[in-house]
Amino acid sequence: MSPTPHHSRFNIRPPCTTGDSGDPGPSLGKDAERVFDFIEDERHLTAHDLLKDVRRRIKEQEAIVTRNSTRSSKRKPSRLAIIIRKESAKLETEQLDREELDRAKEILNSNKAAIDKLENRVRIFRKALHNLNEDDEWTYASTHFGIKTFYRREEDQSLSVKLEGEIEGVPLFEQICVLKEVDLHYKWAPFCSSSMTVADLDKLDTVGWFMIGLPHFGVARDGCFRAIGCDNIIEDGSILLVGQGVHDRPPDAPPPEDPFLSEDPILNDLGIPPVPKRRGSGRMTIRKFESVIHVLSPTSAKTRIVANIDPNMAFLPQSLLEFLMKHLAGVMLAKLQAATKKVLKNPVSNEHARKMREHEDFYKHWLMQKF
């Protein structure tokens, strides 16, 4: 029986930080508000940098208020009256600063849940950027369709694969659509027989499911994952995607390096598809999937991907599994490019193009505005 999709509901408003570099402004209270505007626009790294600056300024302002209060209490009445007359303008400024301080503190205190969520995501995004930019200990495996594949043995003896290459003639806008619409992954992903969006938790937060089958061998594996994104288009012309498996850890496997994506309580109500029980079937373990897409021009981008996936096929020789992973990974990215080009060639009846028209609130009124 096929799993039943669950679609979360959330409001999508047009981007409100377009053209905003994220640099701190003169108003502490306004900057506190801007933090949550950046979160709303999925610019999580910029939101966190501004949050750190707001917290620093709050701490400094609190120290100034405490110091001024202590000084005032030690002054003699006659001396205090003279100082008040001479420094009335300064006191007015300090009062305004105090109002800004109280406003900023109230904004942060009333949005603690959003801040906790932001800090969890930023921790994951920064770790992913470190992994993606690290070039040590990778071994070259192959080149397919201009995409280079490398591999690396991790401390737990699992295999990580890295892909990198420039994609020509493929606009990022359509590429995001092909990636986001998990319902249509079976249309282009190699050996994928079925796929489904379990839930869209936010604009760039999706839980998906897919089935990979090798019918000639009587083998099938499904995968369930959660993927989140971070918009860095204004900052450095890139989009960052990070994913992790959901309900896919074998009983004897160690816990994930970071459990936020896979053990978030929000997943409990989604009706994640159960692990297949048919003979020859099972669930793969997606330890991590990290990708950064740098826009080079309106029709080209440089993509780098790091993935660590265990198909949980102990009955097959490990050397064969690793050979397939090293060489099929590049084919996967090439198939993604081909699917994206089909959107451009047939913008009327192509299924991805139809999805973009069906979900205008996301594609036209939100994503398009960022480009």
Length of the chain: 371
In the chain, pLDDT over 90 holds for what percent of residues? Answer: 55
Confidence of residue 239 (pLDDT cuts 50, 70, 90): very high
DSSP E strand boundaries for the chain: 139-144, 147-153, 159-168, 192-202, 205-214, 219-232, 238-245, 281-283, 285-297, 300-310
Report whether CATH 3.40.50.12780 matches the domain 137-370. Answer: no
120-156 pLDDT, tens digit per residue, is 999 999 999 999 998 888 988 888 778 888 888 888 8
Tell me if 304 sits within 8 A of 290, measured CB to CB: no
pLDDT the model gives residue 242: 98
Arithmetic mean of pLDDT, 220-230 = 96
Name which residue leads in pLDDT, 168 or 354: 354
Which residue is listed with tokens 């900057």? 31
Tell me if 240 sits within 8 A of 292, measured CB to CB. yes
Give the pLDDT score at 308. 92
Report the alpha-carbon distance of residue 118 to residue 48 in Å, rounded. Answer: 7
pTM: 0.87
Separation in Å, CA 35 to CA 16, 23, 259: 12, 11, 25
Helix (H) or strand (E) holding 173: helix 172-180
What distance, in Å, lies between the first and last C-alpha atoms of the chain? 41
Read off φ and ψ for residue 31, nearest 5 degrees.
-65, -35
Q: Are 125 and 242 in contact (CB under 8 A)?
A: yes
Residue range(s) occupied by CATH 3.30.530.20 in the chain: 137-370
- The CB density around residue 171, as the number of other CB atoms within 10 Å, is 20
Residue 213 in contact with residue 305, Cβ under 8 Å?
no
Contact (Cβ atoms closer than 8 angstroms) between residue 38 and residue 50: yes
The dihedrals phi and psi of 6, each to the nearest 5 degrees, come to -125, 120
Task: For 40-93, write each residue's pLDDT tens digit.
Answer: 999 999 999 999 999 999 999 988 877 776 655 555 555 555 555 555 545 445
In the prediction, which pLDDT does 29 show? 96
Q: What is the pLDDT of residues 146-200, one digit of tens each?
A: 888 888 888 887 888 999 988 888 888 898 999 999 999 999 999 999 999 999 9
* 254-262 CB contacts, 8 Å cutoff, 24+ apart: 254/156, 256/287, 257/287, 257/288, 258/123, 258/124, 258/127, 260/120, 260/121, 260/123, 260/124, 261/124, 261/226, 261/228, 262/226
The DSSP-derived string for 81-114 is HHHHHHTHHHHHHHHHHHHHHHHHHHHHHTTHHH
The predicted pLDDT at position 78 comes to 54
Residue 169 backbone class (left: φ over 0; alpha: ψ -120 to 50; beta: rest):
left
Structure letter (DSSP) for residue 257: S
Nearest to 293 by CA among 142, 163, 121, 145: 163
Cα–Cα distances (Å) from 286 to 70, 223, 227, 250, 290, in that order, read 57, 7, 11, 11, 11
Buried/exposed code over 183-210 (b: 16+ C-beta within 10 A; e: otherwise): bbbbbbbebbebbbbbbbbbbbbbbbbb
Residue pair 104/111 in contact (Cβ under 8 Å)? The answer is no
- Burial class of residue 305 (count of CB atoms within 10 Å of its CB; 0-12, 13-18, 19+): buried
